Amino acid sequence: MSEKTNLQTPANFTTMADGPYKYIRDADGKVSRVIRVGTRKSQLARIQTDSVVEKLKELHPDVIFEIVAMSTTGDKILDTALSKIGEKSLFTKELENALEKNEVDLVVHSLKDLPTVLPVGFTIGSVLKRENPHDAVVLHPKHKGKCLDSLANKSVIGTSSLRRAAQLKKRFPHLEFKDIRGNLNTRLKKLDEKDDFSAIILAAAGLRRMGWENRISQILGHDDCMYAVGQGALAVEVRARDQDILEMVSVLNDSDTVLRCISERAFLKHLEGGCSVPVAVYTEVKNSQLYLTGAVYSLDGSDSLKETMQTSISSDNQVEEQEKVDEKVQRVGITALKVSEAAQDAAVKLGVDLGNLLLSKGAKEILTVARQLNDAR
């Protein structure tokens, strides 16, 4: 079931179709292209999609943008931890089905929801400038002013993320961790209206986009809790064959974010990781160098491997001639026009090299045991 919101439609118009494309003619005879934008129905998803559409409207004032909201499998299954479901496209499948059927022309996602391998025919056409990718602590109101360190022994912390729980169990051994599901609104309600949790862990980016920064009690730096691959970044998924749409959204690419996320996704893909195993990253770009820290953990955090590598992403070679759009130019699902191909290739190699380093030190064994234990829970 989907809902449509037309942001700019004139009062009197005629809808026309030309193949997969949609146009409208207003009362004065002016014809405008309609771009249909797919999104999840949650409040956060709508806020994120609106922010992307606003940017596109500024660049293309003559285009009509129609938002099509729909529920995904991940939105409907609320009584099971995501890591237990095992489906790689929990929050994307229904949206990609609509993209395949030409019911929408592009889809806005949280990049961390997108698998490192996309279905044939789709690509990520843009990765926007990243919001703060770190995790945040949101305390129950009665614990206002405290932090994780100062919470009482055996205080219960809510998170459905194996990655967060594994790192925080090791860093804060006096705390206990339990699953909590639902969108941001639901999880905050569960925290505030019951006494089940002393605090919950959420992505700082989502809280900021919702305007709920005042609920952030503590930002967890990478020494406490490294973040998920792609966390804090928005991605626009398109049909790989739609050159015009790809060109349209490519101007939204933020080069540093693209390169950081390519390296993170290449690392995760090489480890064959996902939400069912604890894998975490930290990246930064400094002085034309891309730094990638990656780690794998056992479920209780007692066993872990963590390494850092770097590579040059120098802009000495300016952006090459734009790539021909086909499956071959995707890098871990991303087709980033207007971003240096050499830098993108270096980012992929960095992720693969770091993955190989951790595998050589026993990462596969740690992740295999973590996956088996999670399946048995």
Residue that is written with structure tokens 């086909």 in the block: 326
pLDDT score recorded for residue 11: 45
Strand pairing class (2-6; 64-70): antiparallel
Task: List the structure tokens of 174.
Answer: 């006096």
pLDDT of 324 above 90: no
| Under 8 Å between Cβ of 245 and 333 | no
Rounded Cα–Cα distance for residues 355 and 28 (Å): 59
Lowest mean pLDDT among 1-5, 102-106, 283-287, 308-312: 1-5
Residues 6 or more apart whose CB falls under 8 angstroms from that of 97 comprise none
pLDDT of 265 above 60: yes
Q: Provide the residue range defining the domain that includes 183.
A: 135-219
Mean pLDDT of 28-38: 88
- Nearest alpha carbon to residue 197 among 144, 157, 137: 157
The set of catalytic residues is 113
Domain end call among 219, 244, 262: 219
Considering the domain boundaries, does residue 301 fall inside one? Answer: yes
Task: List the structure tokens of 268.
Answer: 């995760």
Mean pLDDT of 361-376: 92
C-alpha to C-alpha distances, 234 to 121, 126, 156, 218, 277, nearest whole angstrom: 20, 8, 31, 23, 23
Are both 300 and 326 inside the same structural domain?
yes
pLDDT of 260 above 70: yes
Q: Is 192 left (phi over 0), alpha (psi -120 to 50) or beta?
A: alpha
Q: Packing angle between helix 43-59 and helix 243-250, nearest 10 degrees?
A: 100
In the chain, how many H helices and how many E strands? 11, 16
Considering the domain boundaries, does residue 225 fall inside one? Answer: no
- Nearest alpha carbon to residue 177 among 194, 156, 200, 193: 156
Domain end call among 219, 251, 267: 219
| Under 8 Å between Cβ of 283 and 291 | yes
pLDDT score recorded for residue 43: 93
| Under 8 Å between Cβ of 47 and 41 | no
Are both 241 and 339 inside the same structural domain?
yes
Percent of the chain at pLDDT above 70?
Answer: 85
The residue ranking higher by pLDDT, 296 or 93, is: 296
The residue ranking higher by pLDDT, 307 or 10, is: 307
pLDDT score recorded for residue 90: 56
Mean pLDDT of 186-197: 95
| Domain CATH code at residue 69 | 3.30.160.40
pLDDT of 323 above 50: no
Are both 211 and 235 inside the same structural domain?
no
pLDDT score recorded for residue 87: 46
Are both 151 and 286 inside the same structural domain?
no
In this predicted model, what pLDDT tens digit does every residue of 44-87 receive, in sequence order? 999 999 999 999 999 999 999 999 999 766 555 444 454 444 54
Domain end call among 167, 190, 219: 219
pLDDT score recorded for residue 148: 97
In this predicted model, what pLDDT tens digit does every residue of 132-149 receive, in sequence order? 999 999 999 999 999 999
Are both 127 and 153 inside the same structural domain?
no
Are both 301 and 191 inside the same structural domain?
no
Considering the domain boundaries, does residue 351 fall inside one? Answer: yes
| Under 8 Å between Cβ of 92 and 70 | no
Strand arrangement, sheet containing 199-203: 176-178, 156-158, 199-203, 135-139, 218-220
C-alpha to C-alpha distances, 277 to 17, 160, 161, 296, nearest whole angstrom: 45, 12, 9, 8
pLDDT score recorded for residue 255: 97
Rounded Cα–Cα distance for residues 362 and 347 (Å): 23
Max mean pLDDT range (70-84, 106-120, 315-329): 106-120
Mean pLDDT of 30-41: 91
Rounded Cα–Cα distance for residues 105 and 96 (Å): 10
pLDDT of 266 above 60: yes
| Domain CATH code at residue 188 | 3.40.190.10
Mean pLDDT of 204-218: 97
pLDDT score recorded for residue 183: 86
| Under 8 Å between Cβ of 168 and 175 | yes
Considering the domain boundaries, does residue 7 fall inside one? Answer: no
Longest dimension (CA), the chain: 70
Number of domains observed in the structure of the chain? 2
pLDDT of 91 above 70: no
How many CB atoms lie under 10 A from the CB of residue 266?
Answer: 25
Considering the domain boundaries, does residue 6 fall inside one? Answer: no
Are both 181 and 258 inside the same structural domain?
no
Rounded Cα–Cα distance for residues 106 and 103 (Å): 9
- Nearest alpha carbon to residue 280 among 289, 262, 290, 267: 267
pLDDT score recorded for residue 308: 98
Rounded Cα–Cα distance for residues 119 and 110 (Å): 17
pLDDT of 348 above 70: yes
Are both 350 and 255 inside the same structural domain?
yes
Average pLDDT, the chain: 88
- Residue 159 phi/psi, 5° resolution? -160, 140
Strand arrangement, sheet containing 304-312: 279-286, 289-297, 304-312
Are both 248 and 147 inside the same structural domain?
no
Are both 256 and 185 inside the same structural domain?
no
The residue ranking higher by pLDDT, 22 or 35, is: 35
Considering the domain boundaries, does residue 197 fall inside one? Answer: yes
Are both 167 and 20 inside the same structural domain?
no
Mean pLDDT of 268-296: 93
pLDDT score recorded for residue 15: 56
Considering the domain boundaries, does residue 264 fall inside one? Answer: yes
Considering the domain boundaries, does residue 3 fall inside one? Answer: no
Are both 246 and 314 inside the same structural domain?
yes
